[in-house]
Amino acid sequence: MKKSLIRISSSLFPSLFARIAYEKLTHPQVHKLRDHELSTLDKARQEDVPYGEFEIKTYAWNESGSKESILLVHGWEGQAGNFSDLVEKLILADYTVFAFDGPSHGFSSKGSTSLFEFVQLVNTMILKFDVKNLISHSFGGVATTHVLHANQNLKIEKYLLFTTPDKFSQRIDFVAESVGVSSKVKEKLVKRLENELEMDISTLNVSEFVKTVNVEEALILHDRNDGVLPIEQSLNVQKNWPNCRFETVEGTGHFRILRTKSVLERAVDFFDEAEKD
């Protein structure tokens, strides 16, 4: 159905289309991994961890590494396997690496999930693996900064973000646009989410969270021509984060940034800086 027709139909039947948008927002699509990504996952010690109604798949590499451990947090509709090229470089640099597949993501069990289920899982994983270093991609930055904002006793030494959204409302805008629904449907969707979460969605902004997080040093890497997340979102986050640097990359887009050799080398260098100090 063309978006123009959907928009007209959603204006006539807003409650129906609000349910459709809600389903899209709470049931992430699982994307097939490449062979080399699966190969990297096979090298990990894997464990299924109970979490609410889910079984969460976790991964651990190079647990006897000589350098500090790092936790990887994937984005919405992403999975741990997306970090495979980075994992291989971190192993070569002798870091211990941990990762997980979020609820209804990757090889974790499937079902209806939400931003806050993902957020609480990030908190659980930080505590489980007892890490002081973090790497996130895309939406993973929203979940991670929310956790660090709400739990300022969690002291993080280094945090690298491969792009980050700023406002959670922008995620809703993206879903509404991708489905093609009317503004009336979006209003109903927002109201339903706010009733469930018991909070104002307009307050869920990474640029606010980072003002109070307990992170010694952070770095955001963002492609100048990212077609999924405009670079202005990451720039606004960095502007509000005193301990954060910002570096622009080119020619990678939103997803290939995790597979580009020069970018991954920069990522490893960021953590090696602490090792050299």
Report pLDDT digits (tens) over 52-75: 999 999 999 999 999 999 999 999
Place 134 in a pLDDT band, splitting at 50, 70 and 90.
very high
**Candidate from 4-13, 57-66, 233-242 with smallest mean pLDDT:** 4-13
Residue 152 falls inside a structural domain: yes
Residue 102 falls inside a structural domain: yes
Contact 161, 88 (CB under 8 A): no
Residue 252 falls inside a structural domain: yes
Residue 253 structural domain = 31-167+205-276
Residue 61 falls inside a structural domain: yes
Place 101 in a pLDDT band, splitting at 50, 70 and 90.
very high
Per the structure, the count of domains in the chain is 1
Residue 256 has pLDDT above 80, yes or no: yes
Place 197 in a pLDDT band, splitting at 50, 70 and 90.
low
Report the interhelical angle of 14-26 vs 183-197 (nearest 10°).
60
Residue 106 has pLDDT above 80, yes or no: yes
Burial of residue 198, with CB atoms counted within 10 A of its CB: 0-12 exposed, 13-18 middle, 19 or more buried: exposed
Residue 90 falls inside a structural domain: yes
Average pLDDT over residues 14-34: 76
Report pLDDT digits (tens) over 77-95: 999 999 999 999 999 999 9
Place 114 in a pLDDT band, splitting at 50, 70 and 90.
confident
What pLDDT sits at residue 179? Answer: 62
CATH of the domain at 246: 3.40.50.1820
Q: What is the pTM of this model?
A: 0.89
Residue 180 falls inside a structural domain: no
